Amino acid sequence: MCIFCDIVEGKCPSYKIYEDEDTYVFLSIAKDAVGHTLVIPKKHFESTLDIDNETFMKVMSTVKKVANHYVDNCGYTGVNILNASGVSAGQSVYHLHYHIIPRKEDDGMDWWPQLEETPYDFEKVCEKLKLTK
């Protein structure tokens, strides 16, 4: 069973921030950042890779609505929006979700991945990744 589906169905408690017909928004219980929020579709999709476009757009609209609310009405000056899709990306709950991390200047948090420089040939990588249709 899926913990996020259980939350949507009211079988597990949550700290609901927002809800509409297609999406559900609640506080993460990680306690790693004040206001760490999760946005999910009510219908189960595993990740960004398998969601239909219409539902994806509804989820992203809710992400934007909540992020703007945090900045416009809650005293934050920015947000980080994060998603992991697939095991290799670090996804740990297999129900599509986007994290919103409310931010303030000088809050001391660094949510951006610290990546080492990886030398590669830009032309070869571009050719491999180019979207042609």
Just list the catalytic residues: 97
Handedness of CA 57, 18, 102, 27 (dihedral sign): negative
Residue carrying the six token digits 């809800």: 19
H/E element holding 98? strand 98-103
Check if the beta carbon of residue 91 is closer than 8 Å to that of residue 84: yes
Alpha-carbon dihedral of residues 56, 59, 64, 66, nearest 10 degrees?
Answer: -170
Q: Which residues pair with 101 in a beta bridge?
A: 80
Encoding tokens for residue 24? Answer: 């559900």
- Residue 47 gets which letter from DSSP? S
